[in-house]
């Protein structure tokens, strides 16, 4: 047999609502906790898996152009202090380190100023001998095959015409370059012997790239493995020069044909 419930007793036993100020405080703490967890997840993703970057210059034309928004794989080569979202390029080793292959497009912290992030193509591995003669790249005495494809309009400079060429590495990987004009600075170099644990980098826009053909005080010099951030994988989207996040009217100024383009 059930005992009738006293409505007044039931009301008195219910927990009292917290004061509005305390309730707002709890809600604020919950929101702050959720934001902290979200930021931590983003930081982990940026450090361990992928990180986006925007291409600020034309040194990697025609494959990458100014305004490209690219995704970089952090786990492709393992991790080092350079993998962190902020500048902390310490130590010489890489966790689960795997070296890049010739022809990979690599994003890295500039040796002379690790706060700057650059992108170039790997031409020489540790121990390789690299030389440029009359614009042709030689690796260990063998020329990287180059096929002229005629003259084209420079993507970032409509008033400039440049020779387009396809280079094919020894493993069959092919990519396009702007071959440049004969006799340009950097077209004829000494033989560079790539030290252990370092890489020889070049831009695909050969007449418009400060890279390993120049010493570290001017260009890249030899790139230490610890400075590597990751491998450039894909162009997600691309905006025309002048577009910016703080200029909403420029958000739709996309460069057609560059959506979801794999980087070769």
Say if residue 31's pLDDT is above 70. no
Of the candidates 80, 83, 89, 120, the residue annotated as catalytic is 120
Question: Could you read off the pLDDT of 197-251 as tens digits, one per residue?
Answer: 999 999 999 999 999 999 999 999 999 998 999 999 999 999 987 776 677 888 7
Q: Is residue 73 part of a domain?
A: yes
Of the candidates 59, 80, 83, 209, the residue annotated as catalytic is 59
- DSSP character for 264? -
Least confident of 41-55, 62-76, 96-110: 41-55
Q: Is residue 172 part of a domain?
A: yes
Counting the structural domains of the chain, the total is 1
Q: Is residue 16 part of a domain?
A: no
Q: Is residue 72 part of a domain?
A: yes
Annotation says 59 is catalytic: yes
Of 107 and 74, the one with more pLDDT: 107
Asked whether the CA dihedral 160, 163, 169, 172 is positive or negative, the reply is positive
Question: Could you read off the pLDDT of 168-207 as tens digits, one per residue?
Answer: 988 889 999 998 777 888 999 999 999 999 999 999 999 9
Taking CA atoms, 109 is separated from 58, 66, 213, 223, in Å, by 18, 19, 17, 9
pTM here is 0.80
Q: Is residue 31 part of a domain?
A: no
Main-chain dihedrals φ then ψ at residue 25, nearest 5 degrees: -65, -45
Q: Is residue 37 part of a domain?
A: no
CATH code where residue 196 lies: 2.10.109.10
Look at residue 36 in the predicted model and tell me its pLDDT: 54
Cα–Cα distance, 202 to 187 (Å, whole number): 12
Q: Is residue 85 part of a domain?
A: yes
Q: Is residue 225 part of a domain?
A: yes
Tell which residue, 196, 156, 206, 200, has the closest CA to residue 176. 206
Q: In terms of residue numbers, what domain contains 200?
A: 47-262
Structure tokens at 162: 């440049």
């Amino acid at each position: 047999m059930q005992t009738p419930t006293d409505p007044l007793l039931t009301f008195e036993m219910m927990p009292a609502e917290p004061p509005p100020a305390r309730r707002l405080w709890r809600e604020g703490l919950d929101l702050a906790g959720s934001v902290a967890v979200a930021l931590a997840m983003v930081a982990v993703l940026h450090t361990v898996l992928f990180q986006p970057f925007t291409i600020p210059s034309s040194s990697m034309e025609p494959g990458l152009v100014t305004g490209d928004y690219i995704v970089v794989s952090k786990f492709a080569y393992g991790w080092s202090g350079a993998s962190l979202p902020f500048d902390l390029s310490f130590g010489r080793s890489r966790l689960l380190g795997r070296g890049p292959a010739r022809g990979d497009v690599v994003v890295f912290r500039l040796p002379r100023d690790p706060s700057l992030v650059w992108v170039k193509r790997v031409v020489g591995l540790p121990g390789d001998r690299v030389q440029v003669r009359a614009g042709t790249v030689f690796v260990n005495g063998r020329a990287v095959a180059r096929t002229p494809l005629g003259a084209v309009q420079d993507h970032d400079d409509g008033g400039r015409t440049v020779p387009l060429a396809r280079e094919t590495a020894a493993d069959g990987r092919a990519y396009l370059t702007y071959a440049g004009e004969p006799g340009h600075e950097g077209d004829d170099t000494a033989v560079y012997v790539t030290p252990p644990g370092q890489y020889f980098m070049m831009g695909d826009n050969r007449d418009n790239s400060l890279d390993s053909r120049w010493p570290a005080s001017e260009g890249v010099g030899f790139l230490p493995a610890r400075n590597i951030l990751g491998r450039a994988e894909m162009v997600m989207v691309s905006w025309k020069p002048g577009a910016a996040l703080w200029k909403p009217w420029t958000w739709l100024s996309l460069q057609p044909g560059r959506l979801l383009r794999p980087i070769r």
